Structure 1
Amino acid sequence: MAELTQAEVHEALTRLGDYVRLAQAPLVSHFPQLESVVQLDERAEKLRAILLEAIEALGPPRPTSFGSPESRAREALTMRYVEEMSIEDMAAELSVSRRQVYRDLGLAEKRLTQLLSSWACPTQQGPQTAAPGDTIGEELSLFSSRPAEVQLRRVLDDALSLVQPLANELGVKLKLVSPLDERIRVVGDLAFTRQVLVRALSLAVQATTAGEIAIGVEVQDERVVLHLGFSAPEPFAFAEGLETIRRITQSQGMACEALSQSPGKVDLTLTLCRRAPKRVLIVEDNPGAVELYRRYLPVEDWQVEATSDSRVAFELIKALKPHVVILDIMMPHVDGWTVLRDLKENPQTRKTPIVICSIANDPMLARALGAAASLSKPVSQAQLLVALHRCLGE
């Protein structure tokens, strides 16, 4: 099979918004699981998902600034091909020259090509690497999360009891070195939170070169940080397992990091939220826009729900009781202006703040019909977050 080229990657990126042309992109030939898909829209959707996941994988765990070298590739590709920003707009937003934007894009596409090559069907000389979404991604997408207040002491005790047999077998002591008030609660799905704690404890038990895991708890205003201190060799032999935990925690608004306190000493931290995220309902028929908004809204702060059918917006708002709604205008069946008017005329939904995000933006009409804010596409992350926080009086 021919080698995957940067030109093929670039061509596919330029077709992200055109499903017909994306489905026929030469890049498809490097992924056998895509070539076997007959329906063009389904093939395009799968390739788009691979590209977006690869772009996300180029950077470190969010949040991070554009100035961070690890994030420049991801942000450059997102702005140019997902948000469809012009070179001039990117230069203005980032306060850099047009030449620097082109340079960043070139380097980013090179890195993306290297990553996709490792995911694609291998040549005869190379080892096969599974494409993204085959294991962890698929499981996470199928898991229905139900965030709620969880008593940390209870879920930690459950996790410790599950890992204790493994610790006994390996001769490792699990020691709680700081008191844990039973009143401390965190926000998250109970099963997910327990699973993260079990995975982290098991990883530490199997990785340590000493006979003890010191478990500490640091309570902050909006976070609880769980510290697992132990001895382990460098480089860490458990990097693969750590990456699995990171992916799981990121999907639920948590965080996992392994820090070297001193040579041979590791502090594995799990950061959990103490406050519930705000719920936002996206009424948008463009799946690309929904994906973009999801990436803009940190899962630790926002619980995102979405529908592509404007006809069900009223019922969803009554059922979900979102803190704010993001509404498109140009949609089939019922346009956004009609939805906005009807929601504001109904006593059950009139108090819900609505942010208009559309290429058919008309701020004066939006305000007259009751919208809390009105943004023109393409919308940047900063614009969207500012609008949402203002709607909530933050």
Structure 2
Amino acid sequence: MVDQEVFYEEVREALHHLYDYDRLRSLHLRAWLQAEPGFTGPRSLKQILIDAVEALRPEAETPMDAPDWRIYQILLYRFVQGMSTQEVAGQLGLGERHYRRLQARAIERFARLLWVRHLEITEAGEEEAGLPDSSWPEPKVGSDLDWLQREGTLQQTQLYEIFIQVEQLLAPLARNRGVHIEFHLVPDLPLLRIHPQAIRQAMVSTLAFMLDRTLAHRVRVEARTQGEVIQITIQPCSDSSAPAPPQSAALFTKPSALEALAIPRQLLDMYNGNLQVGRIESGAPMLTLQVPVVRRLPVLLVEDNEDTTELFSRYLEGSPYRPVIASSSQEAIFLAQRVKPRAMILDVMMPEQDGWETLILFKAHPLTATIPVIVATILTDRELALSLGADDFLHKPVSQEQLLAALDQVIQP
């Protein structure tokens, strides 16, 4: 029988190392909860813990200032989202000592939930509770890609560095196929709005797909800017002295081929990019990847809490949005007319002039009335904010995903 205190301690350790595979693998908790050996998948220890946090989410009708919401928010933002103690405490409007007491209470409740699950597994018996290794369900593609969305998916990526990495990775395969890969970059390409691992894997998979099917001895990879995207084309090339060998377009467009491209297409879709299969004038196949470039649109952040200002600014790093900081309502009104931000993120609890007054002034002034306003506060007055003209309302603590989604929603392309 597992000692309950030992079990609770392992739960605490697992929460604090939720994205550290080596540490999770070393814990007995994995066996106690009948988790599968890997790090991803619906029955991995990491996913079991994340699902258990989500199981503590209160019902929608529960008041936002209820203790159950505090427990859920602490577990979600501190451990699943990876925010620091100071950041979560600041967004919840709590002193650090008070916050630490609430965090200890949240972890205890979380551990109690998992302890009940462990007892159910033990009582059911090894044969009924556990699945043999050969019977584990295949992890869904979405599960394996979820971590990209949790790690700040809107990032700035330099394509030149990605090309170098892809060339190194595919060099052995290209030699085995007798194909030479040529990389061509137009100078001064803008940064890509995509996670570096996502574009690297999309390119590796797509280029490997071409190497496996081409009859040519050379493949050309070229990148250039097309409006708001960078277009990367992959196509076979012939030597100047010989025509390109004939290839059937069906080889690249039949269902099995399109299935092989499903992963890179999904990776690009996550960042509003796409992957197309086409043909050049000679009839040879061509694969085209399109990835959005980074656009840094000014966003006015009206917040007097330095910790929150620093956190939100970090959220916007690598995103299409550039923070412009105002620590008071008066400064916000001045900067709004000077910078012409595409949106404003407004705190309510500020000295001198609070956020409600600022919101009223913004919506009444002809130069700022059309600027979308997102109210972000520890208060729960959503309906009041919307009635005063706010375009969206975020209840603190706010995750990076929530902030970027709100900005994407209110800022029109």
Query: Normalising TM by the smaller chain, what interval?
Result: 0.3 to 0.5
Name the TM-score, length of structure 2 as normaliser.
Answer: 0.41
Larger Rg: 2
